Amino acid sequence: MRPLTVLGVTGSIGRQTLEVAAHLGLEVAAIAASRPSPDLLSMARAHPGATVVVAGTESDATFSSALGDRVRFGTGALEALAAEPDRIVVNAVVGSAGLAPSVAALRAGNRLALANKESLVSGGPVVQQALADGGGELIPVDSEHSALWQCLLGEPVDAVHRLILTASGGPFRGRSTEELQHVTVEQALDHPTWSMGPRITIDSATLVNKAFEVIEAHLLFGVSYDKIEVVVHPQSVVHSVVEFVDGSQKAQLGDPDMRKPIQFAITAPERRPIGEPAYELAGLTLTFETPDRDAFPALDLGYAAGRAGGSAPAVFNAADEVAVEAFLKKRIRFADIPRVLEQTLESIEVRALESVEDVYEVDGEARDVAGGMVAATSG
């Protein structure tokens, strides 16, 4: 198997990727993070053959003296690293900074194991073009898309009747629109099944995260939005389902352990043994329900942005990042988040995206507009 490049190595997915690499006995050829942290330095020492990139700074004396010429700095170095050929690039960068390395990896013909949401949500058309031009492979790491990918192995896409993405429903499942007016930051951060960073936890509470996943599924599998559905499944055991034209449904199940989809993105379509594969079904109760689209309007806003295409999903994402940050700082209420998204989407005309620069430009514009909406809302 090709050596690994792990981008965003100090985050949760990055760390688990190193565990998977150790388990598989894979060479880690390069690691990258945004900041020169003590964590990154100890990872660099644990992988003495790996190139190290610190993307968010142009120099660091400690890193340079500790690592010599195997450390490089800056976003240009991050892109160059992703473009080194014959690699499996795991992109677990958080935020829109993940787009440029995704495009670089695909243009170089690498396998991209993608855990960075913004690459497809914001830069979908650009990433698809890079995939077509470079002849690389794009394999999702996210549990739902990994599930769909696995269910679709050996199946022609025209045999698909529906993709059914499962959603945990987040901490506010079952609450009414009225009840959601008064929920707190602390309540929103208390996710029932998955332990994740603050932004994705809030995105899970608003169903924005599921809207992102709908957009990603459309781009990954070429299935129209009319054929992508969301079902709330609080136990998060069924990671997603594909329904075929003959009425048969295939689901992928497992415990909420991200090492499994990470490993599959690296080894696919092969499967490699994992330490303790047993997952007991006996005793499980699995339930499924329709999402409450009135209480969680962000889901339909995401579908609308996806259908509008071009720059609209990038606007949706950027506005959400601004709105979530404002909510976490208690400047706006939970119920204001979808309002900021809707108003920002309405304010910016949809245009085509042809380059990474186009995406960053619309991202900046949407942040400004959303920032204005937040200021107006928080008075």
In the complex, minimum distance from the CB of residue 120 to Mg ion, in angstroms, rounded to a whole number: 13
Per-residue string for binding with Mg ion, 13-52, x by CB under 5 A? Answer: ----------------------------------------
Chain residues 127-166 in contact with Mg ion, contact rule CB under 5 A: 142, 144
Draw the binding track, 298-337, toward Mg ion (x: CB under 5 A; -: no contact).
----------------------------------------
Q: Which is nearer to Mg ion, 193 or 347 (CB)?
A: 193
Q: Read off the amino acid at residue 378.
A: S
Nearer to Mg ion, 102 or 168 (CB): 168
Strand order in the sheet with 28-33: 71-73, 51-54, 28-33, 4-7, 88-91, 111-114, 137-140
Judged by CB under 5 A, does residue 216 bind Mg ion? no
Alpha carbon separation from 27 to 32, 47, 111 (Å, rounded): 15, 9, 15
- In whole angstroms, how close is the CB of 17 to Mg ion at the nearest point? 16
* Burial state string for 60-88 with b = 16 or more CB within 10 A and e = fewer than 16: beebeeebeebbbbeeebbbbbbbbeebb
Q: With respect to Mg ion, which residue has the nearer C-beta, 171 or 310? A: 171
Buried-exposed string 255-268: b where 16+ CB fall within 10 A, e elsewhere: eeebebbbbbbbbb
Rounded CA separation 166/357 (Å):
33
142 vs 358 by CB, closer to Mg ion: 142
Taking the complex as a whole, the smallest distance from the CB of residue 70 to Mg ion amounts, in Å, to 34
CB of 79 or CB of 142, closer to Mg ion: 142
Residue whose beta carbon is closest to Mg ion: 142
CB of 78 to Mg ion, least distance (A): 24
Tell me phi and psi for residue 150, to 5 degrees. -65, -40
Identify the CA nearest to 260 among candidates 14, 81, 17: 17
Please report how close the Cβ of residue 209 comes to Mg ion at its closest, in angstroms: 6
* Cβ distance to Mg ion smaller for residue 144 or 243: 144
- Measured from the CB of residue 197, what is the shortest distance to Mg ion in angstroms? 13
E strand spans, the chain: 4-7, 28-33, 51-54, 71-73, 88-91, 111-114, 137-140, 160-167, 228-232, 238-244, 249-253
Tell me, by CB under 5 A, how many residues bind Mg ion. 2
Site residues (vs Mg ion, CB under 5 A) = 142, 144
